[in-house]
Amino acid sequence: MDIKKLQSLVIDALEDIKAQDIKVYDTVHLTSLFDRIAIASGTSNRQTKALAASVRDKVKANGGNIVSIEGEETGEWVLVDLGDMIVHIMQPAIRAYYRLEEIWGEKEVKFGAAKRTSTRSSASAAADEAPKKVGRHLAASQTTIDDEPKKAAPKKTAAGKTAAKKTAAKKAVGKTVKVAPTKTLEAYKKTVAKKAPAKKVAAKKPASKTRAPAKPKAKSAE
């Protein structure tokens, strides 16, 4: 199946069950295991399972291949392997911890803008185009503001953009948990667990074996 068609089917299946914060990334330049990765959130175990089932049924009904589905037992993180595309359906807390967007998110695939524009009703479009009535005092103030010369926003130079990227990269150091390209859910979790910084336990100081010198006894009066 064409990757664009597969991507469209996955997005439709997720939107049908009201998935939150859907993101799709192009991973061709990062790994040869798959071409796309989709990440979406479900608010409960029941919704994440329903989202995974929706993706499975939609792709299967259109002749696509379902390689495997993992994580349905708990529903906290369900991974649907479609061969050329991997779908991660996660609860918000799990998604915030693993931060897969920071690993795969170099090339985000934009979608849905044309669809949302075409579905607008003619009534709402006509309302947007209709001229709005304003009072005389408001019209006068708007004319005064519009007549003032607008200051152009300062353009960022190439050097400024490079410096900004370096600053952002420095801030991200130590926060992102790198995950090797993989298709299995357990491999993701094990890799993150291995690379998580271990807690340092302060060593206890050994008790001193040296006794304090004894105090001299007071001499008795003769």
Query: Which of 6-10, 61-65, 150-154, 184-188 shows the lowest mean pLDDT across its residues?
Result: 150-154
CA separation for the pair 102, 176 (Å, rounded): 7
Domains of the chain are: 3-116 (3.30.460.10)
Q: Give the residue with greater pLDDT, 128 vs 34.
A: 34
- Among the listed residues 165, 194, 158, 162, the one whose alpha carbon sits nearest the alpha carbon of residue 177: 194
The answer, yes or no, to whether residue 139 has pLDDT greater than 60, is: no
pTM flag (> 0.75): no
The answer, yes or no, to whether residue 192 has pLDDT greater than 80, is: no
- Percentage of the chain beyond pLDDT 70 is 53
In this predicted structure, what is the pLDDT of residue 155?
55
In this predicted structure, what is the pLDDT of residue 211?
52
Are 184 and 70 in contact, with CB atoms under 8 Å apart?
yes
Q: Are strands 85-90 and 20-26 parallel, antiparallel or unpaired?
A: unpaired
